[in-house]
Amino acid sequence: MPDKVICWQYRDCKSTSCPAHGKQGIICWTTDNVECLKGLEPAEAIRTCSKCEVFKTNTNPETSGGFLSLFNQLYKELEKSESHLLLLRKVSSLVQSSIELDSTLHIILTCVTAGYGLGFNRALLLLINSETGLLEGVMGVAPASAEEAAQIWNEISSFEIQNDNVESIVDIYEKKFTSRDSDIDLLAKKITIDLAEDNIFSYCVKSKKSVVCTNQSREKIPAVFLDVWRTDYFAIAPLIAKGRVSGVIVADNFFNFKPITPEFLELLAMFAFHAGLAVENARLYERIEKRAKELEETNERLRETQDILMRTEKLSAIGKWRQLLPMK
């Protein structure tokens, strides 16, 4: 193949309606409505070009400078954004269709820590106890070590996340990552934070804002959290539904020390929002179940009262009938 090739010549393309057909100086992948990219979303178009021999030849690093490197970087960013969107859709669908709060929240934390998700090393869920007002740890998700994290991510890296396999990828992560009722869960349940105090968690709850905590704000981190979670660099996102905060998600990079960027803080906030909806839906369902049980109990009492009234009426009728009988 020569250094520079023309797409329609190389492919022996007969589609004369294609804007690139018959032209020598045109670059097919920068031209609108070319036949091979028609109707494709940007990420899919980039994926198609990256596999095309014409593109590979014409963007040879020796002749195209840093273009190919820039293209590959753009492709990776689009692929990452696409995977985040698909996982958010999965979580959104799950929140709307499931009433199993524990399972839903565990999947959300899994997505926060999955390599195809946000890729945080660890995630922790804390919920506000409605009776005490305290913020209590209820669940944690994390690999047991940096080695386990690397092994899991390498194993899954060959998967190309798409609409039809996103659920199976999440399932794989759920099975591979530390399961519920494990050491990480036991650690989570040791954390209780007083929101009446001036700390980073009370700020997040009261302001309803996601924040990144660093060692510069270490004095705002409760001692119990530092003792149990052993890091002063983490992100916090509030669980918000109907204007109320029901808890927070904490995420960190305890093993690889990757910086937490504003982009990932915003994505964490999106997953926390869905977690907030899940908590609100579960509590609404719980209230409905409680009300239904109360109504059933009321109906049962009404039925018992009705039975008593009917028996009373029968006995009264019998008494009146006996009064009408002649005396012997």
In the chain, the domains with their CATH numbers are: 7-71 (no CATH), 98-284 (3.30.450.40)
**H/E stretch holding 141:** strand 135-141
Q: What is the amino acid identity at position 266?
A: E
Distance in angstroms (rounded) separating the CA atoms of residues 216 and 250: 18
Can you spell out the DSSP letters for 48-77? HHHT-HHHHHHT-HHHHTTHHHHHHHHHHH
Closest CA to 51 of 32, 34, 71, 24: 71
- Torsion angle, alpha carbons of 215, 217, 223, 224, to 10: -90
Distance in angstroms (rounded) separating the CA atoms of residues 69 and 56: 12
What is the strand order of the sheet 244-252 is part of?
A: 192-193, 135-141, 122-128, 244-252, 234-241, 211-213
Distance in angstroms (rounded) separating the CA atoms of residues 59 and 141: 43
Whole-model pTM? 0.65
| CB-based contacts of 242, cutoff 8 Å, min separation 6 | 280
Interior/surface letters 264-283, b for 16+ CB within 10 angstroms, e for the rest: bbebbbbbbbbbbbbbbbbe
Burial class (CB in 10 A: 0-12, 13-18, 19+), 221: buried
Q: What is the mean pLDDT of each run of 10 residues along the chain (328 residues)?
A: 68 79 73 78 74 74 55 62 67 68 82 73 94 94 74 60 54 56 82 96 97 92 94 96 95 91 92 90 78 83 84 72 60
Residue 249: what pLDDT?
Answer: 97
Residue 159: what pLDDT?
Answer: 54
